Amino acid sequence: YVSNDNNVTVFLANGSGGYGAGQHYDTSGVASDVGLGDFDEDGDLDIVVSKFLVSESCSVLLGNGNGTFGAAVDYPARRLVEQLIVEDIDADGHLDVLMASNISDVVLLRGVGDGTFSPRECFASGRGADWIDVVDFNGDGWLDFVGTSQSSLEVRVSLSLGVP
C-alpha cells in the first residue's frame, strides 16, 4: 500500500483470507508507484518506490526473507515520476527499473544483481511521459519502450539499439 505520508505499508496475508497488521516503511517522500522484484537475487521479494513531488529519487527496500524489509536506500531519478516498471531491460539477467516522469525524461536504473543499481540513465521523452510499457516491438529480441504524454497528447516508441 502506497500512502501520502512518506511511507509504504506492507500487509502480509494471514492464511485465512485476510491480512495481518500493516508494517510501515519510511521512504522519505510521497510515493507515486511501487514495484516488486528480486533485486539482490537472494530469492526474496524487494520493493522499489518512485516518489512524486519534491524528491528526485526512488527508494529500494531489500526483503529480509521473513516478510520484513530493510531501510530504504535512495537512487537518483527525476521529479514527478508517475510510473515505474521492473524488468530486465538490457537482458543481462538482472532486474532494472524504468521510470516515467511527466515533466522530463524516462529514467533507467540498471540493476547490478546485488541489490544496487548503476547511475541513472535518462532518455529524452519530449514533454515527459505519464505512462510507459516495455515490449519487443520489432522482434529483434530486445525490449523497446512506449510512452504517452497527456500534456502533448503524444505516443512515442523508442526502439532498443541492442546494446546493453
**Residue 147 has what pLDDT?**
74
Task: Evaluate whether 61 touches 95 at the Cβ level (below 8 Å).
Answer: no
- 89, 80, 151: which is closest to 117 by C-alpha? 89
Which parts of 5-136 fold into alpha helices (H)? none
For 10-53, the pLDDT digits (tens) are 999 999 999 999 999 988 877 888 999 999 999 999 999 988 76
C-alpha closest to that of 112 among 143, 73, 140, 80: 73
Please report the pLDDT score of residue 4 as a whole number. 61
Q: Are the C-beta atoms of 62 and 46 separated by less than 8 Å? A: yes
CA distances to 29, 76, 91, 146 from 55, in Å:
6, 9, 29, 25
Task: Note the pLDDT tens digit of each residue in 70-82.
Answer: 999 999 887 677 7
pLDDT tens digits, one per residue of 76-114: 887 677 789 999 998 999 999 998 877 667 888 999 999
8 A C-beta contact, residue 51 and residue 27: yes
C-alpha dihedral over 101, 103, 104, 110, to 10 degrees?
-10
Considering only residues 56 and 155, tell me which one the structure prediction assigns the higher pLDDT. Answer: 56
pTM of the model: 0.85
Q: What is the pLDDT of residue 71?
A: 96
Cα separation of 144 and 158, whole Å? 6
Q: Strand locations in the chain, DSSP E?
A: 7-10, 23-26, 31-37, 46-51, 57-61, 73-76, 81-87, 96-101, 106-109, 121-123, 131-135, 144-149, 154-158
Q: Check if CATH label 2.130.10.10 holds for domain 7-158.
A: yes
CA gap 137, 145 in Å, rounded:
8
